[in-house]
Amino acid sequence: MTVPRRICSLLPSATEVIAQLGLADSLVGVSAECRWPAEVIGKPVVSAARVDTAALPSVEIDRLVRDSTAAGSSLYAVDADLIDELAPDLIVTQDLCAVCAVSSAELSSACPVEAEVLSLDPRTLAEVASSVLVLARRLGVERRGEELVAEMWSKARGTQAAVAGSRQPRVFLAEWIEPPYCGGHWIPEMIEMAGGTPAMGRAGEPAHPVGWQEVIEAEPDLVVVAPCGFDAEQAAERAAEDRLDLPCRVVAVDADSFYSRPAPRLADGVRQLGHLLHPDLVADPELPAIELSGRSDRYAARP
């Protein structure tokens, strides 16, 4: 099978992996959400969200997503003419989440006949690692893929070993703020590897909406505000707009880089969670984090 040399990535996590595999120059087109690493910025944009949600409140974004999904309409626009002009031999996307990127089914009218479509749909940390290997093999750089996966596991398992036997505080990670969504898929695993206990959510299962009262009744020691698609400052701003006020420690993090995207940087998110929960055992990875509540006394005193 011929190794692809012209790649369109409609999936930010795949764009990250392709670049980390040393093949950023092979990317001829990306999505508007592909912003890391720096060398992918400025690549032709072949897909983008149909609505600019930056100025919308969280509850309106959630309503828009729900209405679009229920109506079977796509949240993304694909530039079929540009894809045809770029003539990729491989297009990478996903079918896991209608909110995250263009699905493979949506490419049926935009994909050149000769282009291969590869869908990556990991739901757990192990499947994230497997997706990296699948992509690396398809691009002819299997050894580099194995190195990348080994680096990912080394970081995550190093944190897990550092916190072994310690107290496991209860953690709720909010993938959305209003309404709150309980972090799903790989998030519960990340919390456990970091030395915590997921207050809600199960590994491999999708994020789902809950109520803030339900969150409070789950008695988390720490609430991590990690709305999908936002960095730490944006998450903190959203929390302020939604008047988030909880009786426990609350920290906003960069979900877009270290929690939402199924790529090797999830291991850095594990390290950050490990430091937030066990600062005496895990060194600060110095990732963006903004304390939103001063109620750390309850967190520290809980047995």
Q: Are residues 186 and 49 in the same domain?
A: no
Q: Are residues 242 and 293 in the same domain?
A: yes
pLDDT, tens digit, 9 for 90 and up, residues 209-246: 999 999 999 999 999 999 998 999 999 999 999 899 99
Query: Confidence band (pLDDT; 50, 70, 90) for 83?
Result: very high
Q: Are residues 234 and 296 in the same domain?
A: yes
The last residue of a domain, from among 85, 105, 121: 121
134-147 average pLDDT score:
97
The reported pLDDT for the residue numbered 72 is 62
Q: Are residues 116 and 61 in the same domain?
A: yes
The reported pLDDT for the residue numbered 301 is 30
| CA distance linking residue 246 with residue 256, whole number of Å | 23
Beta bridge partners of 8: 29, 91
Q: What is the CB-side half-sphere exposure of residue 159 using CA atoms within 13 A?
A: 31
Q: Are residues 100 and 158 in the same domain?
A: no
Q: Are residues 154 and 295 in the same domain?
A: yes
65-77 average pLDDT score:
69
**CATH number reported for the structural domain that contains residue 106 in this entry:** 3.40.50.1980
Has residue 71 got a pLDDT over 70? Answer: no
Has residue 183 got a pLDDT over 60? Answer: yes
Q: Are residues 18 and 83 in the same domain?
A: yes
Q: Are residues 185 and 279 in the same domain?
A: yes
Q: Is residue 130, in this structure, part of any structural domain at all?
A: no
Which residues, in sequence order, are CB contacts of 75 under 8 Å at separation 6+?
A: 49, 50, 51, 65, 68, 98, 99
pLDDT, tens digit, 9 for 90 and up, residues 23-34: 999 999 999 999
Q: Is residue 141, in this structure, part of any structural domain at all?
A: no
Q: Are residues 229 and 94 in the same domain?
A: no
pTM: 0.90
Is the distance from CB of 276 to CB of 172 less than 8 angstroms?
no
The last residue of a domain, from among 121, 137, 159: 121
The reported pLDDT for the residue numbered 298 is 37
pLDDT, tens digit, 9 for 90 and up, residues 1-46: 789 999 999 999 999 999 999 999 999 999 999 999 999 999 999 9
Q: Is residue 133, in this structure, part of any structural domain at all?
A: no
Q: Is residue 80, in this structure, part of any structural domain at all?
A: yes
Q: Are residues 55 and 177 in the same domain?
A: no
Q: Is residue 196, in this structure, part of any structural domain at all?
A: yes
The share of the chain scoring above pLDDT 70, in percent, equals 87
Q: Is residue 164, in this structure, part of any structural domain at all?
A: yes
Cα–Cα nearest to 276, from 259, 261, 290: 290
Residue 271 main-chain phi, psi, to 5 deg: -65, -40
The reported pLDDT for the residue numbered 128 is 97
Q: Is residue 136, in this structure, part of any structural domain at all?
A: no
B/e letters for 191-217, b = 16+ CB within 10 Å, e = fewer, are: bbbbbbebbbbebbeebeebebeebee
Q: Are residues 43 and 92 in the same domain?
A: yes
Q: Is residue 203, in this structure, part of any structural domain at all?
A: yes
Q: Are residues 111 and 153 in the same domain?
A: no
> What is the count of structural domains for the chain?
2
Q: For residue 103, what are the domain limits?
A: 7-121
